[in-house]
Structure 1
Amino acid sequence: MPCHAGWVGPTVPICIYGFFSMMRPIEPFMTEFLTGTYKNLTTEQVNRQVYPVWTYSSLVFLIPVLLVTDFLRYKPVIILQGLSHITAFVLLLVGSGVRSAQLAFFSYSIAMAADVAYFSYIYSVVQPSHYQRVTSYVKAAILLGYSVGALLGQLLLSLGGVSLYCLAIVTLISVTISLITSLFLPMPKTSLFLKGTLSAQQGSSGEDNQESGSQDAWVKSVTAAKHVGRMFKRLALDFRKCYSSVAMLFFCIWASTGKCGFYQVAGYIQLLWVYMEPGNFTAFNGAVDGISTLSVVRVGELVLGGFTFLITGALFLMDRTDNIWISYSCFFLFKTIYMQLSTICTFQIAKTLQREHYALVFGFNSFVGTILQSLLTAIVINTKSLKLTITSQFLIYASYFAAVSLLFTVRGVYTALHMQRPAGSSQTERDSNLPEASRL
C-alpha cells in the first residue's frame, strides 16, 4: 500500500504541524515578557486581567468548535488554529497595554479550543489497526515540540544572550511553519459523525430507503428539519453509548479534572516563580518546563489516584517552599506525572470508541475541563472579596488535586475489592478496571 494511502501519509504532516505549533520558546518566559520592559504590565494585571481571558474565551469557543469540527472534516479547524496562533503572537509583538494583551490571549483561546480537531483528525484518515501507533506519534510530536521550544528558549536566553523579544519572533516563525504545514494535510473524505448518522438512517426503516436519493442533498445543505432532528437524536444516543461504561466514564472524569488542574497550574506557575525570585527571571524556567519524558503504561483507577496524590504532594511542597530550586523540581515532577497519565487516558479512551465518536468525546471532555477551569479561575482569581495571594492560589490548586486523588483512590479500592470476589462473580465486575467493562 502506498504511504499516502496508508497511515504514514497523513501522520507525517500532522506530526510536523503539532511539533511546530507547540515549539513556542517564549511561553516559559511569558510572564516576564509581559511584566518586563517590553510591555510594562504589573503582575496584578497579568494575574487578574490578562491570563483569565484565555480561560473564559476558551469556554465560549469550545462549543461552536466542537459542533463544527466533524462537519467541516477537521482540516479547516486545524488551519483556523494555525491562524489564531499567528494572530496571538503578532499582537504580543506589536501591541501594548492590557487591551492588546487581552486580545492576544483571546486569539490564543481560539487555538486552544481547536485542539479537539488536532487530536481527532488522525482517527478520521487512518484505519483502526493503526490507532495505537498514530496516537503515540501524534502525542509525542506535540510534547517534543514543546520541549524543544522551551529548551531552545532557555539556551538562547542563558547562553546566547538573546532577548525575550527575539524569542517571541522565533515563536511566530514556528507557528507560521505549522500553518503552512496544515495546508498539506489530506482532507478526510467524509465527516465521521455524519457518515455514521447516515448509515444508521439507511438501515433503520423502510422510510429511509425511500429517502436515500435525497440524502446527498441533505448532507450538502443541512437544512431539512427532519434530518437535523435525526442528527441530534443520533448525537444523544451516541453520547449515552460512549459514556455507558463506568471505567470509561472514570477515565473521562480524570481527563477533564486533570486538564482543569494542569492548565491552571501551568498557566500561573510563572507568577509564583516571579514572586519567589523577582529579579531572576532567566533562571531555568525553560529548562524545567521543557525536560519531560513519556512512558505509556496500562493503569486502573487506583494507580490514577495514587499518582494524582503524588501531584498533590508536589503542589503542596511547591506552595510552601521559599527555595526556587525545590519549586522547579516539584513542577518537573508535577508535569511529568500529568503528561504520562494524560497519554494513558487518551489512549484508553480512544481504543474503546468508534471513529465517528472521537470529536464528541474528546470535545466534551475538554468542555467539562474548561468549565471547571473557568469556575476555578472565577473563584480563586477574579473574586474581588477574596484577593488571594499567588501562594494561597496554589494552596487551593493542591487541595483540588487532593480531592481528585481521593475520588480515584476510593474508586480504585472499590474496584480492587470487587476483583477479589469469588470465581462465581461476573467477568464484567472482575474486569471493571478496564475500559471495556462495567456498563451503567
Structure 2
Amino acid sequence: MEKWLIQSLWISVFGYLKEFRPEDPYTTQYLTNPPMNFTNEEIIQEIFPVSTYTCLGLTIIIFLVTDYLRYKPIIILNAISNVITQIFLIFTRTKTNMMIMEVFYGTMIACEVPYYTYVYTKVDKKYYKIVSSHMKMACLIGRLVSAILAQSLIDNHILTVPELNYLTLAGAITSLLWAVGLPSVKNSLYFHQSPANNSIRGNDINAPKPKTVCQILWSDFITAFTNRYVLQWSIWWALDTCIYYQFMAYAQSLYQEMYRGGTDLEVTDNGMIEAIYTIISTLGVYVIGIIMVPSWWLIGTLTLGQGVILLIMAQDHLLSHAYVGYVLFGTFYHIMATTANCEVAKNIPEDSFALVFGINTFISLLLQTCLTVVVNSPIGFMVNIRTQIYIYGQCCMIIGVLFTIKALWCTLSKRRNVIPLT
C-alpha cells in the first residue's frame, strides 16, 4: 500500500472515532430528564450558548497555534476535550458544571480545522481531492454507525439514554489513543515551511527580503478576498453555516417541545432520523458532484427551501414532519456547502485553503454569537424555541432571496452577452 494512502487512512480512522457519538441524537432528551432535570429554557438560553461563545473565542487562536505546533497537538486537544465533555455529562449534575462542559465541547469544535488540514502536510498535492474525500466519508460513516447503533440499543432495551454516554466516552477515549499515535508533522503552511514552499512563496533564502509569517498570511488573505467571486461565495457560506449550526444545535429542543404538547412519534426515534439524515446527505453530496446545475440558482432556491422548512417547523406539532424537515434542511445545506467549497477552491491558491476556511468559519461563529446573544441570552430577547426557529427561517428566506436575485442577474447578464447586436 502506498505511503500517502496509509497516511490518509490513518487520519480518517481518527475522523471516524471522533464522530462516534451515540448519545448525540439524545443529548437534549438526556438533559431534560432524570438524573439531569434541566428545563428546555435553561438548555437553550444558558447551557448551549456557552459552546458558541467558547468556539468563537478560540477559532483564530487555534488556527495560528495549530500551524505553529504542527497540527498533531491540536488534534490531541480535540480528543482530550471530547473525553472531558463526556466525563462532565456522565458524572456531574449542576447547571454550572454543564456550562463548563460546554466550554470543553466548544474547544472540541474549535479544534476541528486541524483534522481537515493535517493530511495536506503529509501527502502530495495531487492527492488532495481523494484524501479530502476519505476524511469526509470517515466522519459521515462514524455518525451513521453511531446513530444506527444508538437507535438499535434503545429500541431493544439494551441501553438507556443515559447509558449511551458511556459508549460515547469509550469512543472518545479510543480517539484520544489513536490521536497520540498519529505521525508527527515536520512542515506546515506558515511557521515551518519546507524549503521548496519557501521558494514558491517568494521566501527563498537567496531572496533579498524574505517574507515574514504575517506578510504571507496577509498576502494569502488579500489574494483570496479581493477576488469578488470568492468573496460572494464566502459570504453565503458564512451566513448559511451560521443558520445551519444554530438550527442543528436546537432542533432537539423543538422535538422536546412537540413531544410535551402531544405528537405522533417518540423522541427515542432521534437516532433513526440521524442515520437517515446522514445517508441522504451523503447521497445528495455525491449526486451534486456528478450533475451540472447552475451554482447561483442552486444556492438561491435551496436556501429559500430551507427558509420554508423552518417556518413550517416553527408552527407544526407533528414530530414526523419535524423529522422530515430536519433531514431536508441538513441535506440542502450539505449540497450547497459542497458546491460553495468547490467554487472557492477553484479560485484560490491551494496554500490558501486553510486560511480561507478558517476565516469563513470565524465569521460564521461571529454571526452565530451575535444571533445567540440577541435570541437566547438574558441581555437579548430570550425567545422560546418555536420563535427561535421562526427567526432562523426568516433569516434563510432573506439570504435565499438575495442569492436568487444574484442568480437572476447572472442569467440575464449571460443572455445579454450571447444575443447578437442588431
Q: TM-score, normalised by structure 2?
A: 0.89
DSSP-derived class of the 1:13 partner: helix
What's the CA shift string for 1:372-428, capped at 9, x where partnerless? Answer: 000110011114563312111110010111122122212222222222233599xxx
Per the alignment, residue 64 of structure 1 pairs with 61
Q: Residue 89 of structure 1 contacts residue 168 of structure 1 at CA under 8 Å; is this kept in 2? A: yes
Per the alignment, residue 86 of structure 1 pairs with 83
C-alpha distance in structure 1 between counterparts of 2:190 and 2:414, whole Å: 36
Per the alignment, residue 417 of structure 2 pairs with 422
Per the alignment, residue 245 of structure 2 pairs with 263
User: Of the candidates 250, 268, 275, which is equivalent to residue 290 of structure 1?
Assistant: 275
**Superposed, which structure 2 residues align to 1:174-189 within 5 Å?**
174-189=171-186
C-alpha distance in structure 2 between counterparts of 1:207 and 1:419, whole Å: 44
Segments of structure 2 that go 5 or more residues without pairing to the other structure are none
C-alpha distance in structure 1 between counterparts of 2:209 and 2:239, whole Å: 44
How far has the Cα of 1:203 moved from its partner? Answer: 7.0
How far has the Cα of 1:247 moved from its partner? Answer: 2.3
Per the alignment, residue 307 of structure 1 pairs with 302
Per the alignment, residue 3 of structure 1 pairs with 2
Match for 2:106: what amino acid? S
C-alpha distance in structure 2 between counterparts of 1:352 and 1:123, whole Å: 18
C-alpha distance in structure 1 between counterparts of 2:206 and 2:111, whole Å: 33
C-alpha distance in structure 2 between counterparts of 1:245 and 1:305, whole Å: 21
Match for 1:231: what amino acid? V
- Is the counterpart of residue 108 in structure 1 residue 105 in structure 2? yes
How far has the Cα of 1:28 moved from its partner? Answer: 0.9
C-alpha distance in structure 2 between counterparts of 1:89 and 1:135, whole Å: 28
C-alpha distance in structure 1 between counterparts of 2:299 and 2:257, whole Å: 32
Per the alignment, residue 203 of structure 2 pairs with 201
Q: Residue 11 of structure 2 contacts residue 135 of structure 2 at CA under 8 Å; is this kept in 1? A: yes
C-alpha distance in structure 2 between counterparts of 1:282 and 1:89, whole Å: 21
- Counting aligned pairs with the same residue, the percent is 28
Q: Residue 190 of structure 2 contacts residue 213 of structure 2 at CA under 8 Å; is this kept in 1? A: no
Per the alignment, residue 412 of structure 1 pairs with 407
Per the alignment, residue 168 of structure 2 pairs with 171
Per the alignment, residue 215 of structure 2 pairs with 233
Q: Residue 221 of structure 2 contacts residue 355 of structure 2 at CA under 8 Å; is this kept in 1? A: yes
Q: Residue 13 of structure 1 contacts residue 184 of structure 1 at CA under 8 Å; is this kept in 2? A: no
- Is the counterpart of residue 137 in structure 1 residue 134 in structure 2? yes
Q: Relative to 1, partners in 2 of residues 1:36 and 1:406: Cα closer, same or farther, differing over 3 Å?
A: same
User: Of the candidates 339, 348, 357, which is equivalent to residue 352 of structure 2?
Assistant: 357
What's the CA shift string for 1:87-120, capped at 9, x where partnerless? Answer: 1111111111101111111101001001111121
C-alpha distance in structure 1 between counterparts of 2:419 and 2:124, whole Å: 38
Q: TM-score, normalised by structure 1?
A: 0.86
- Is the counterpart of residue 335 in structure 1 residue 330 in structure 2? yes
User: Of the candidates 4, 29, 33, which is equivalent to residue 30 of structure 2?
Assistant: 33
Q: Relative to 1, partners in 2 of residues 1:383 and 1:415: Cα closer, same or farther, differing over 3 Å?
A: farther
C-alpha distance in structure 2 between counterparts of 1:142 and 1:133, whole Å: 15
Match for 1:189: what amino acid? K
Q: Residue 147 of structure 1 contacts residue 290 of structure 1 at CA under 8 Å; is this kept in 2? A: yes
Q: Residue 135 of structure 1 contacts residue 347 of structure 1 at CA under 8 Å; is this kept in 2? A: no
Q: Residue 18 of structure 1 contacts residue 141 of structure 1 at CA under 8 Å; is this kept in 2? A: yes
**Superposed, which structure 2 residues align to 1:207-226 within 5 Å?**
208=210
C-alpha distance in structure 2 between counterparts of 1:240 and 1:397, whole Å: 32
DSSP-derived class of the 1:206 partner: coil
